[in-house]
């Protein structure tokens, strides 16, 4: 059985509950030992076709990593009969082969197995991996933080966590985040209108590994306030949505200020903006006036009718698709604004999109936000478009549109599951929206449709009904014909 990349904890939990042997490899793209062990893991999956072999990128799936107490990579968990029966931390190919064989049942506990003589397809790969891993420096063989953080490193970490009242340890920088969780954390801090510092943990492996031990928190990003750990991505999101993050900042005496500083960089250098940007008051005033000249303001190369770069054209297209009025400024026409805005916004490229004076980001972020629905949500929150307009767009996203709990692949209620099965049984293609992911849509759609429960099925923007109606139509042979008229 081929190795499968896990995308959710729910998917993993379902497989483990089945009771079959489940092998999980927690890895990281930056860890060479992980890469070697992944080759062994893949070959072993061929030798044991009746077991599930799963791969988890540890820092990209913090919920799964925390559930299995992962604090180093490579790390392996072995499950059987619905529970974890063994684990392995580190790059040990022979031991990995032995443990998998014992869990699956091809050898018995206490019985040694020489991987090269097991008669397995993985045998040669295991020997090769042993040789490759031996060449890796011991400090990198598997990225385990020291059992106790050395005093010199501890002192450094304490200083870093207090380098700014609000300090975010992330992958990449605010302008170029290297993972979705870091990007989300930056967006939340910007939405909170607080000044924050950042440290790119990809730039310093000592800090990256040491901070996990120092904080007793195995994943990134990590957010600190006055040297106190608040939490990772999930906690940051929950606190932000519940209003608790703003209160936490207030309790620590942190004031509102949207400027940022990058830890470890001298003030005023590229990549950080000091409390004083170095811009003249005249230019600062002009930039603020331009940013505030329209609720939706795009600084771009060229004009909407004649964009001078593909990225600018893409953002214009997205805003048109969202059917919002927007104003633009051609940064090619004014070098002072072009250079000054980079410093003012701490964003080094164009286009730059602002909504109600708040920097949203460049083309990549705008595109990603459109795909995830976040852009539309912000437009509603900022009063640019109404909730009713958003709901009208959502029910018309596809000719057949299902608003359900969960997703078609992982429904979160029996009624949603029944409607998915009915549609798929008729061979009907449909779009879906998980109402559990957006409380505003969940409550708004009840009023919009005058239908108090979910799921809700729409055809060409018109409500068909809920579970009972859909099942009745299927039973009468009307479902397929109604949704294809």
Compare 135 and 450 and report the one with higher pLDDT: 450
Q: Which helix (H) or strand (E) holds 43?
A: helix 32-47
pLDDT the model gives residue 10: 92
Lowest mean pLDDT among 51-65, 245-259, 354-368: 245-259
Tokens at 110, concatenated: 């206490």
DSSP 355-419: ETTEEEE-HHHHHHHHHHTHHHHHHHHTTSS-HHHHHHHHHTSSSEEEEESEETTEESSHHHHHH
pTM (whole model) above 0.75 = no
Q: What pLDDT shows up at residue 338?
A: 92
Mean pLDDT of the region 175-196: 87
Question: What letter does residue 332 receive in the DSSP assignment?
Answer: G
Q: Cα dist. 219→62, 90, 216 in Å?
A: 6, 17, 9
DSSP tag of 235: H
Least confident interval from 100-104, 381-385, 435-439: 381-385
Digit-coded pLDDT (tens) for 104-123:
875 444 444 433 334 444 55
- Percent of the chain whose predicted confidence (pLDDT) is above 70: 85
pLDDT at position 465: 93
pLDDT at 139 (0 to 100): 38
């Amino acid at each position: 059985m081929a190795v499968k990349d896990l995308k959710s904890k729910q998917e993993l939990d379902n497989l483990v509950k089945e009771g079959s042997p489940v092998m999980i490899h927690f890895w990281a793209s930056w860890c060479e030992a992980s890469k070697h062990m992944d080759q062994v893991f893949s070959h072993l999956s061929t030798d044991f076709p009746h077991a599930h072999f799963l791969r988890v990128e540890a820092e990209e799936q913090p919920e799964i990593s925390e559930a299995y107490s992962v604090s180093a990579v490579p790390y392996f968990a072995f499950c059987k009969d619905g529970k974890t029966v063994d684990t392995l931390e580190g790059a040990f190919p022979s031991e990995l082969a032995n443990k998998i064989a014992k869990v699956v049942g091809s050898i018995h506990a206490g019985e040694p197995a020489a991987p090269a003589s097991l008669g397995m397809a993985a045998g040669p790969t295991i020997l090769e991996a042993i040789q490759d891993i031996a060449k890796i420096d011991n400090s990198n063989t598997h990225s385990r933080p020291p059992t106790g953080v050395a005093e010199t490193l501890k002192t450094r970490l304490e200083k870093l966590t207090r380098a700014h009242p609000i300090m975010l340890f992330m992958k990449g920088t605010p302008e170029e985040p290297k993972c979705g969780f870091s990007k989300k954390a930056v967006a939340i801090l910007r939405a909170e209108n607080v000044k924050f510092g950042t440290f790119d943990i990809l730039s310093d492996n000592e800090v990256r590994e040491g901070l996990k031990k120092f904080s007793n928190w195995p994943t990134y990003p990590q957010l600190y306030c006055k040297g106190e750990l608040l939490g990772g991505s999930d906690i940051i999101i929950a606190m932000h949505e519940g209003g608790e993050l703003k209160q936490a900042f207030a309790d620590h005496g942190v004031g509102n200020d949207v400027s940022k500083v990058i830890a470890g960089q001298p003030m005023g250098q590229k990549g950080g903006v000091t409390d004083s940007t170095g811009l003249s008051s005249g230019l600062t005033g002009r930039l603020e006036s331009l940013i505030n000249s329209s609720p939706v303001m795009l600084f771009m190369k060229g004009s909407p009718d004649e964009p001078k770069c593909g990225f600018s054209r893409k953002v214009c297209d997205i805003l048109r698709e969202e059917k919002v009025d927007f104003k633009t400024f051609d940064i090619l026409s004014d070098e002072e604004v072009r250079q000054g805005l980079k410093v003012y916004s701490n964003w080094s490229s164009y286009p730059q999109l602002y909504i109600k004076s708040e920097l949203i980001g460049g083309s990549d972020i705008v595109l990603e936000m459109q795909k995830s629905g976040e852009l539309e949500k912000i437009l509603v929150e900022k009063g640019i478009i109404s909730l009713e307009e958003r709901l009208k767009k959502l029910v018309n996203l596809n000719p057949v549109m299902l608003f359900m709990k969960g997703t078609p692949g992982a429904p979160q209620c029996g009624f949603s599951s029944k409607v998915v099965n009915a549609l798929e049984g008729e061979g009907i293609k449909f779009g879906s929206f998980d109402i559990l992911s957006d409380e505003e849509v969940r409550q708004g759609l009840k009023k919009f449709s005058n239908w108090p429960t979910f799921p809700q099925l729409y055809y060409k923007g018109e409500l068909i009904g809920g579970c009972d109606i859909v099942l009745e139509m299927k039973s009468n042979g009307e479902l397929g014909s109604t949704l294809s008229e």
